[in-house]
Amino acid sequence: MNEVFTFALIFAAIRSATPLIFAGLGGLFSERSGVINIALEGMMLAGAFTGAVVTYETGNPYIGFIAGMISGGLLAIIYAVACIQFEADQVVAGMAINFLMIGLPSLISGAVYDSAGSTPQIDKSNLLPNFFNSLSIASILAFALVPAAWYVLYKTPFGLRLRAAGENPGAADAAGVRVIGLRYVAVVISGLLAAAGGAYLSIGQSSLFTISMTAGRGFIALAALILAKWRPIPVMFACLFFGFMEALTIQIQGVVKLPSGEDIPVQFIQIIPYVLTIIVLAGFIGTSRAPKALGIPYRKEN
Amino acid sequence: MNIAREIFWPLVAVLAAFVVGGLIILLLGDNPINAYYLLLSNSFGSLRDIGWTLHYATPLIFTGLAVMVAFRCGLLNIGAEGQLYVGAFAAAWVGIMFGGPFFNSIAQQEENWSWVSLPAFLLVPFCIIAAIAAGAVWGAIPGILKAKFGSHEVINTIMLNFVASAMVAYLVQYHYKLPGDAIQRTAPIGDAAHIPKINEYLTFLPHDVPLNVAFLLALLMCALVYVFLWKTKWGYELRAVGENPSAAEYGGISPGKQTIIAMTISGALAGMVGIGEVLGKEHYLETGFSAEWGFLGIAVALLGRNHPLGVLIAALFFGVLLRGQIFVDAFTPRVSKDLGWVLQAIIILFVACFQIYTRSKGAKVRA
């Protein structure tokens, strides 16, 4: 077992947790304001694609990272207009955003680089830098954002209003909170953060964008958000746990065997976050209560 | 007129999506008229085209009906993708374990993995029932969780999708794959489990068209779902819960029970996708064989205004796109087949937005 539980595993867990923390915090802002965010996956893909393209074209990963975030923010505006202005079903609109990001990156990359499957390889020296051997600057940023998100949500007037918009928008409105405006801001923050997670995947962990490279991480982040009962610090721990699981899956390949001498099927570990979420939602392990007004469009009464 | 009102907004959504898609094509430096001509003109020109279009529409009819039935009960079933995987695996499993000897194309020898070798008239119904039952069970789980614990079906069905695909991937990789096969797929099902292709009856249809009798089953299901929902007491109760759960409960209908029934039927319909794909077309199950059909079912149901006839029309329209995008890919300089994805996404987004103009009647998803 000592071959498995090493420092390398801890670093691998942090690397795997990084995109989840970005997306999880993103989902946190949106959902605490009352807007479900099933579109995290699509927003991550936007960041991953734009991040890779801009980094490849400019040779600067920081510009790429910021451009990736902005693309997520722009996508979030489309999502916000659909959900808030048009009161579209948030789950359906979210799925549409995810669909769009399956197709659009390949469509663009097929037209521009003549390869629909992926963007060109970025030179290794132009990727986001690592510290202490293998700790990305993006990982440090992700962990730094956790207390920042906590502070913003719980210690600022903005955070108080945002949470009020998600719990009781009618009362918040009566108290002078601009619910609609707040929800727009929250969804855009959500897009910026989720896209940062995506950008880390393409220009930090990897060196190019490939179709659907987020591989369900947006949904794992959503699961982490639910397990964490929509609170920032627990979101980090839930993401770390899922990151650890992912790292472990890779690490035990060919090392740890079942008593029968066979490899442990990776699928058994992969499903843990999903099964855990179902169990927690059913109330078998504590209760996870969503913000009260989650998913309900707000219409100002005159 | 009522019908005109029903089709107005879906039509606007489709047209608006084509306008936005056209702008994207222009930005990419290609000709939208040419791309759209290729997209839409290759679906009905010949018998082969029509056959392929109907084939592409078949799984979407099943998943569209699945999403629709749940929606009529006020539930959003995002889980058709998982339900169809479980159903397809069940069909393949029965086809292998009761299908008799098969030729192992990797080892180049005759093999027999089955417990019992059943004749076709028993094996085919057994495979079909397995697909339906497995899908039904996978759909019932989030139904029961919602009815008993109040946990939201959207999150649970998303999670169950991942569980289903991981489980099927495990079973294929570790237990039902031909040793040495580079593709993640099961061993072939027995010949007796095959269902007929349409060109066996209509011999003028080209032999490469995989359209099979599952399409006819899909048409039958449209009719059955219509009769069930609008002509039976059970359908009335299910819709009553969708329209107004508290009023239904006051009238003596249990919302919890209807939730479980609706999700079970929904899962069963999604499970039927495996009939056409495994028994009719491939004759094995390949992991990842579904091109997001479960999710497209949501688009089909919405575009079809949650009516079986609308679902049929919307599924055929998506079949046209799926057929046409291959030609766009091949014959335009810059536009790839991903145009289909983008158009579908924009259509869903517009349909979802335009519901604000049509929402006054019918079911609304319960929070």
Return all residues near A53 (Cβ < 8 A) that are at least 6 apart.
A64, A108, A109, A112, A119, A209
| Residue A236, in any domain of the structure | no
| Residue A153, in any domain of the structure | yes
Residue A6 burial (C-beta neighbours within 10 Å; 0-12, 13-18, 19+): exposed
| Residue A275, in any domain of the structure | no
Encode pLDDT of B49-106 as tens digits: 999 999 999 999 999 999 999 999 999 999 999 999 999 999 999 999 998 888 888 8
Encode pLDDT of B98-150 as tens digits: 988 888 888 888 888 989 889 999 999 999 999 999 999 999 999 999 999 88
Residue type, A280: V
| Residue A151, in any domain of the structure | yes
User: What whole-number distance in Å separates Cα of residue B79 and Cα of residue B86?
Assistant: 11
The pLDDT confidence band at residue B367, using thresholds 50, 70 and 90, is very low
Encode pLDDT of B324-336 as tens digits: 988 888 888 888 8
CB contact under 8 A, A92 and B29: no
Residues of A with Cβ-Cβ distance to B30 under 8 angstroms: 111
In chain B, residues 274-303 whose CB comes closer than 8 Å to chain A: 292, 295, 298-299, 302
User: What whole-number distance in Å separates Cα of residue B96 and Cα of residue B116?
Assistant: 10
pLDDT score, position A2: 59
User: What whole-number distance in Å separates Cα of residue B188 and Cα of residue B282?
Assistant: 9
| Residue B362, in any domain of the structure | no
Encode pLDDT of B261-299 as tens digits: 999 999 999 999 999 999 999 999 999 899 889 999 998
Under DSSP, is residue A286 helix (H, G, I), strand (E, B) or coil?
A: coil
Which domain does B205 fall in, by range? 58-317
Locate B224 and state its tokens. 């059955």
| Number of domains observed in the structure of chain B | 1
Query: Cβ(A186)–Cβ(A162) under 8 Å?
Result: yes
Least confident of A240-244, A259-263, B203-207, B300-304: A259-263
- What kind and span of H or E run contains A136? strand A135-136
Q: What is the mean pLDDT of residues B222-250?
A: 94
CB contact under 8 A, A100 and B338: no
| Residue A261, in any domain of the structure | no
Encode pLDDT of B307-361 as tens digits: 999 999 999 999 999 999 888 888 888 888 889 889 999 999 999 898 888 765 4
| Residue A251, in any domain of the structure | no
In chain B, residues 209-228 whose CB comes closer than 8 Å to chain A: none
User: What whole-number distance in Å separates Cα of residue A79 and Cα of residue B36?
Assistant: 26
Structure letter (DSSP) for residue B277: I
Q: E strands within chain B? A: 102-104, 109-111
| Residue B347, in any domain of the structure | no
| Residue B11, in any domain of the structure | no
Locate B5 and state its tokens. 């009102």
The distance in angstroms from the start CA to the end CA of chain B is 32
CB contact under 8 A, B159 and A275: yes
Q: Which residue is it, tokens 């766009």?
A: B328
Total-model pTM? 0.91
Locate B19 and state its tokens. 């306008």
Angle between helices B120-149 and B153-171 (to 10 degrees): 140
| Residue A50, in any domain of the structure | yes
pLDDT score, position A301: 65
User: What whole-number distance in Å separates Cα of residue A237 and Cα of residue A76?
Assistant: 26
Q: How many CB atoms lie within 10 A of CB B291?
A: 14
Query: In whole angstroms, how far apart are CA B354 and each of B14, B301, B302?
Result: 11, 14, 11
Low-confidence residues of chain A, pLDDT below 50? Answer: none
| Residue A168, in any domain of the structure | yes
Is the CA virtual torsion A192, A197, A199, A203 positive or negative?
A: positive
What are the two backbone dihedrals, phi and then psi, of residue B133, each rounded to the nearest 5 degrees? Answer: -65, -45
**Partners of B102 in beta bridges:** B111
Reading phi first (left if > 0) and then psi (alpha if -120 to 50, else beta), residue A286 is in left
Mutation target vs B (from A267, A270, A284; most B CBs, 10 A cutoff): A267
pLDDT score, position A254: 67
The full DSSP string for A221-283 is HHHHHHHTTT-HHHHHHHHHHHHHHHHHHHHTTTTSB-TTSPBPPHHHHHTHHHHHHHHHHTT
Assess B154–A contact: CB distance below 8 Å, yes or no. yes
pLDDT score, position B231: 96
| Residue B35, in any domain of the structure | no
| Residue B351, in any domain of the structure | no
Nearest Cα residue in chain B from A281? B151
Locate B126 and state its tokens. 């057994």
User: What whole-number distance in Å separates Cα of residue A65 and Cα of residue A52?
Assistant: 8
Which domain does A165 fall in, by range? 19-217
pLDDT score, position B213: 94
| Number of domains observed in the structure of chain A | 1
Give me the torsion for CA of B148, B149, B150, B152, rounded to 10°: -110
pLDDT score, position B361: 46
The b-or-e profile of A120-158 (16+ CB within 10 A means b, else e) is: bebeeebbbeeeeeebbbbbebbbebbeebbebbeeeee
Nearest to B117 by CA among B176, B192, B175: B192
Residues of A with Cβ-Cβ distance to B306 under 8 angstroms: none
Rg, Å, chain B Cα set: 21
Reported ipTM: the value is 0.90
Nearest to B221 by CA among B144, B346, B309: B309
